[in-house]
Amino acid sequence: MDGWDVRGTACIILRGEIVDVERPIKLAGVSNCFRSEVGSAGRDVRGLYRVHQFAKVEMVIICKSDPAISEQLLQEITSHSEQLLQILELPYRVMAVCAGDMSQKTYKQYDIETWMPSRGDYGETHSASDLHSFQARRSNIRYRDEQGKLQYCYTLNNTAVASPRILIPLLENHQREDGSIYVPPALRKYLGGRAELIPQG
């Protein structure tokens, strides 16, 4: 992920700006998120899968208004999420979201679903979207084209990882019959070098 600048929410930082997008602007930030579950029911509103407050690492790209460029960048940010799941040694699938399931702002979207044994199914853990100029128009983020004319940028975003939902497949897929949990090598340096978690008592 070379070339990513870790900052806050891009469209707040750059609201009303005329930016240089000769090279796409790549930003990443950590944020606390909140969702309302008023009126919701069912298994998805219990446990770690759908909580009221969660944290996530979000990737945002601001680029020229060129569909070919934004498509290439959408593939790039989707691949970053795939690489994360691969180093965590988790089974997943990439789903192209149909138009009827996308929000008004979205031009194209991929959801990545990770296998969750307790559900007996895949559950969404990542989402990457190409918004074309929708978000930039609302935030008034523009650039000057080769003729010096102002154009609205294209923007893309990707949930690189969200917690605590990622803990579901991480713990369930790596739990052994004796209750211990295998720790993938990519995480061991954050856990004092532990290769497994052993239940106490």
Given a cut of 60, whether residue 45 has pLDDT beyond it is no
CA distance 88 to 86: 5
State both tokens at 10.
């891009």
Given a cut of 80, whether residue 146 has pLDDT beyond it is yes
pLDDT per residue as tens digits for the range 4-33: 444 445 556 788 899 999 999 999 888 777
CA of residue 110 relative to chain centroid, distance: 10
- Just give the CATH number of 5-197: 3.30.930.10
Average pLDDT over residues 171-177: 95
pLDDT per residue as tens digits for the range 188-199: 999 999 999 998
Domain ranges of the chain: 5-197
Q: In whole angstroms, how far apart are CA 68 and each of 2, 60, 75, 130, 154? A: 21, 17, 11, 11, 11
Q: What is the DSSP string of 179-198?
A: S-EE--HHHHGGGTT-SEE-
Catalytic site residues? 35, 50, 124, 127, 165
pLDDT per residue as tens digits for the range 70-120: 999 999 999 999 999 999 999 999 999 999 888 889 999 999 999 999 989
